[in-house]
Amino acid sequence: MPTWVWLDKGTFKEVKVRAELAAAGVWAETTAKPVALHLNPGTGDAETYPASGDCAINDDGSIGTPYAKGDAGRTPSCGITYLRATDGKPYRLSASITWQISWQGSGGAAGDLPDGTFETTQDMNVQEIQSVNR
């Protein structure tokens, strides 16, 4: 069964920081914009949604689509399906947010900086349930 992943709207927003030397009349501004959440299930025995593991950040700052009653047969827009149970050692799910970073200055100069990535991990214990249906 798929595990749906989502974050509520407005969680990740563009961030701007400005430094200014008023007496000299110069300033520089850096903007960081979140662009994707990347999921790594911690095992090759899993499928990610989308297949790349890169979940886009929606226009409202949310990620993925919340699970709702009746969605059991659907594929999540962001999520993971583990294909094997863990054997006493959990999988290490990692989730990372990628930020595109740019800058501009008072003299008209501007450019892009390397993307920033921030990651966290979570132990995932996956259990298997078997049943007989007659």
**pLDDT tens for residues 20-56?**
999 999 999 999 998 889 999 999 999 999 999 999 8
Residue 73 binned pLDDT confidence (cut-offs 50, 70, 90)? confident
pLDDT at 62: 87
* pLDDT tier, 95 (very low <50, low <70, confident <90, very high otherwise): very high
Spatial CB neighbours of 61, under 8 Å, sequence gap ≥ 6: 9, 10, 11, 12, 13, 34
- Predicted confidence at residue 47, as pLDDT, reads 96
pLDDT, tens digit, 9 for 90 and up, residues 110-131: 999 999 999 999 999 998 887 7
Lowest-confidence region among 11-15, 76-80, 104-108: 11-15
Q: What percent of the chain has pLDDT above 90? A: 72
Of the candidates 25, 17, 8, the one whose C-alpha atom is nearest the C-alpha of residue 63 is: 8
Separation between Cα atoms, residue 107 and residue 55, nearest integer Å: 37
Amino acid 36: pLDDT: 87
